[in-house]
Structure 1
Amino acid sequence: MTLKTSILKPVNGTCFKLISWALTALCLFGWGLNTAQAGNMKVYKHVDAQGIIHYSSKKPRGKSYHILNIRCPECSVWRNSVDWKNTPLITDLYQAEIDHAVTTHGVEKALIQAVIHAESAYKVAAVSSAGAQGLMQLMPLTQKTYAVNNPFDAKQNILGGAAYLKHLKNAYKNMDIYLAAYNSGETAVERYNRQIPPFPETKEYVRRVKILYNRYKQNQQRLNAISNSRVVTTGVSATASP
């Protein structure tokens, strides 16, 4: 069986044909795959005569192709051994999209950055074995709720993820709790009396995001201090000029 595909909008001037994971659960479990098998699924990539990139689970016939690994190590929370206190921050990707989401939804930039880093390590095409997709690892129902038509479009994904974070933040107030809800779902948080569910993965996720949040926040404060210092220095120089 071939993975369902759909034409996406042009990205950076190129038209891509990517895997459509709108029915991810059906794709994984309807094929009789467990999550470990799904995590190791081979994806074949080839480019047609029009320059459109195609992805398929079936080996292309009579065409050159590359085999891709769609696993997302960052998407596996409790199995990941990254040192989150020292891993390099990622501050040069999707900044315009993040800033737009900050302006639109009023969610703190450091929080969005931390969630993206924790969820996908800024891999726009990341897909978890559970079916979460894109930079902020949105599940299909969340995508539908926040009008994310293409989860692999950075702007849509970040806007949807930021809107969801805003909703959770307003609902639970406490960072530990709304991050737990982002990871395990609101139903799980409500089931455990609005506390962090006793799941090792969720506990590790909250720890991870909070570490990254504090680091991104400190980095932003440092950049702001440098920027303000330059403004003050420039102002003094201008005043001292004859």
Structure 2
Amino acid sequence: MTRGVAIVWFAVLGAVVLRIPCATADIYRYEDDEGVVHFTDAPTDKRFKVFMRDLKKDRRLRTTFKLAGCARNPEEFEPIIDQCALEYGVEKSLVKAVIHAESGYNPNALSRKGASGLMQLMPQTARDLKVSNSFDPRENIRGGVRYLRFLLDTFKGDVTMALAAYNAGLSRVAQYGGVPPYQETRTYVDKVLSYRKSYQTN
């Protein structure tokens, strides 16, 4: 990289740094084969890596863990979660975090896309998992935990990738070779990981 180009990019970097307190998204960067550094808040290429986190978003995620906002008392489903987590070897705090993020512990939750129940199983996914009634807490949690186990095995234990696939689908993760560049998916993964940490400490 020439001195002139380097100065330009340092200037750009300085502008990015100065804007961080007001940022509304994570900042990503990658350096191409010619040594040019690229920055964006909406990556479309898997070569982009997180450069700076959106501090406001991180703060929101850390403070949104409120069990009082759940539709039902989470303890009501504790025995089912314990049993299914043990059966499929999935961390209990992760199961609870997914349920919290997906439905807020509402067994009757139904999304606009047709996902239903505590772990928001799509109709085809429910059929594949032999779940006949997605609104039945026991069936739904068992199916959801079984699916999580499958995703964790598929991604060799990588929780972030498994959650991205749970939200966006396996095909999208395969298409982008990682977490898809969808704000919804990225926010979902961050939220579940934040909830997971809260359940671990509580």
TM-score class, shorter: 0.5 to 0.7
Paired with 2:83 and 2:128, the residues of 1 have a C-alpha distance of 19
Structure 1: where are the runs of 5+ without partners?
A: 1-82, 220-242
Q: Does 1:159 align with 2:145?
A: no
Of Structure 1 and Structure 2, the greater helix share is in: 2
1:84 deviates by 4.1
Contact kept in structure 2, 1:168 and 1:181, CA below 8 Å: yes
Letter in 2 for 1:198: P
Deviations 1:64-97 (A, max 9, x none): xxxxxxxxxxxxxxxxxxx442332364231111
Paired with 2:172 and 2:129, the residues of 1 have a C-alpha distance of 20
Alignment partner of 1:184 out of 157, 162, 168: 168
Alignment partner of 1:119 out of 86, 102, 108: 102
Contact kept in structure 1, 2:161 and 2:179, CA below 8 Å: yes
Contact kept in structure 2, 1:119 and 1:135, CA below 8 Å: yes
1:100 deviates by 1.4
Which residue of the partner structure matches residue 193 of structure 2?
210
Structure of higher CA gyration radius:
1
TM (norm. structure 1) is 0.54
Which residue of the partner structure matches residue 3 of structure 2?
none
The share of aligned pairs that are identical, in percent, is 41
Paired with 1:109 and 1:94, the residues of 2 have a C-alpha distance of 12
What secondary structure is seen at the aligned counterpart in 1 of 2:131?
coil
Contact kept in structure 2, 1:84 and 1:208, CA below 8 Å: yes
Letter in 1 for 2:129: Y
Alignment partner of 2:117 out of 94, 116, 134: 134
Deviations 1:6-53 (A, max 9, x none): xxxxxxxxxxxxxxxxxxxxxxxxxxxxxxxxxxxxxxxxxxxxxxxx
Which residue of the partner structure matches residue 226 of structure 1?
none
Kindly report which structure 2 residues correspond to 1:1-242, keeping only aligned pairs within 5 A, or say none.
Answer: 83-86=60-63, 87-89=65-67, 91-172=74-155, 173-193=157-177, 195-219=178-202
Paired with 1:97 and 1:145, the residues of 2 have a C-alpha distance of 21
Aligned-residue CA RMSD (Å): 1.2
Letter in 2 for 1:200: Q
What secondary structure is seen at the aligned counterpart in 1 of 2:75?
coil
Letter in 2 for 1:218: T
Deviations 1:97-138 (A, max 9, x none): 111111221111000000000000000000000110000000
Letter in 2 for 1:212: Y
TM (norm. structure 2) is 0.65
Paired with 1:88 and 1:198, the residues of 2 have a C-alpha distance of 28
Paired with 1:181 and 1:135, the residues of 2 have a C-alpha distance of 17
What secondary structure is seen at the aligned counterpart in 2 of 1:128?
coil
1:174 deviates by 1.5
Moved beyond 3 Å, runs of 4+: none
